[in-house]
Homo-oligomer: A and B are copies of this chain.
Amino acid sequence: MRVVVPFAAETPKTRLESVFSPDERSRFARAMLADVLRAIAETGHKPTVVSTAPLAVADLELPEAVAAVTSVAVDERPLTDAVNAWLPGGDGAADESGATGDPDHDPVAVVMADLALATPDALEGLLTTAADVAIAPGRGGGTNALVVRHPAFRVDYHGTSYLDHCEIARSVGADLETVDSFRLGTDIDEPADLVEVLVHGRTSDRALARLREFGFALDDRDGRVGVARETDRASE
């Protein structure tokens, strides 16, 4: 199954700008992307990064086996249009190898690049359903990851996309399964979300390593759990 990973290469993670410099945001976003690609590769599938700007796979410092199965396609269109081109029955899109999105109506998965907690196990739970459409919702009614096996289904990421996708599935006669996963349901968008990376990140995760390198640590001094930054360490 082709697994598409949309990536905003030029303006990543703007909602983290209160805690990261622009350079840090870019490095953190690429670290999360690298972790997501590795998790996908470990399920035995081949990820295609659909990036808003050229992106060198070599710069992601992926493990060799992950880099070998990862491809990049550049698509400057808005997220919804770029993803729809890759879906079964979509108008197609060519990656660097010349492969196009799905001439055979093979199922396609779409996994967001900021699912820093994604593990192969969590992804397997999504990728192995038999439903025409399977969705792992995120907080706030988002669609963090989905699998599409139905040729008439199209995405629309605006607004409460999870509910919209349920409705779109109904309207085209596709059956839908909702995948219940905390790991896939956790997208890292806002400063409060960094807690989840520090709590649940695996020691091999690039995103966790970046946060620690930037000086972030858990902070529960005021009775609720947040993150604090050791500015000394960050400025080293």
Q: Which residues of A contact B (CB under 8 A)?
A: 121-122, 125, 136-137, 139-142, 159-160, 162-163, 180-186, 192, 195-196, 199-200, 218, 220, 224-225
Q: Are B182 and A141 in contact (CB under 8 A)?
A: no
A180 / chain B contacts, CB cutoff of 8 Å: 121-122, 125, 181-183
Q: Which residue of chain B has its CB nearest to the CB of A195?
A: B140
Task: Tell me whether A225 and B121 are in contact in the complex, defined as CB-CB below 8 angstroms, given that A180-B182, A196-B139, A199-B137 are known contacts.
Answer: no
Alpha-carbon separation in the docked complex, A151 to B45 (Å): 42
Task: Using known A-B contacts A140-B225, A181-B181, determine if residue A199 contacts B121 with beta carbons closer than 8 Å.
Answer: no
CB pair A160–B122 under 8 Å, yes or no, is no
9 smallest beta-carbon distances between A and B, as pairs: A182-B185, A159-B220, A141-B199, A140-B225, A141-B225, A160-B225, A180-B182, A182-B182, A180-B181
A200 is contacted by which of B137, B159, B225 (Cβ under 8 Å)? Answer: B137
Tell me the minimal C-beta distance from A165 to chain B in angstroms. 12
Q: How far is the CB of A180 from chain B (nearest CB, A)?
A: 5
A22 to B141, CA, bound (A): 27
Contact B121 A195 (CB under 8 A): no
Is A218 a contact of B141 with CB atoms below 8 Å? yes
Contacts of A182 in B (CB 8 A): 136-137, 180-182, 184-185
Chain B residue numbers with a CB within 8 Å of A121 are: 180
Interface contact A163-B199, CB-CB below 8 Å:
yes
The smallest beta-carbon distance between A78 and chain B, in angstroms, is: 13
Question: Contacts of A142 on B, CB cut-off 8 Å?
Answer: 225
Shortest distance from the beta carbon of A90 to any chain B beta carbon, whole Å: 25
Across-interface contacts of A160 in B (CB, < 8 A): 199, 218, 220, 225
Residue among A140, A183, A196 having the largest count of chain B Cβ atoms under 10 Å: A140
Report which residue of A141, A159, A181, A224 has the largest number of chain B beta carbons within 10 angstroms of its beta carbon. A141
Question: Smallest distance from the beta carbon of A137 to chain B beta carbons, Å?
Answer: 7
Tell me, in angstroms, the Cα distance from A216 to B199 when the chains sit together: 32
> Chain B residues near A125 (CB, 8 Å)?
180
Query: Which B-chain residue is minimally distant from A192 (CB atoms)?
Result: B140
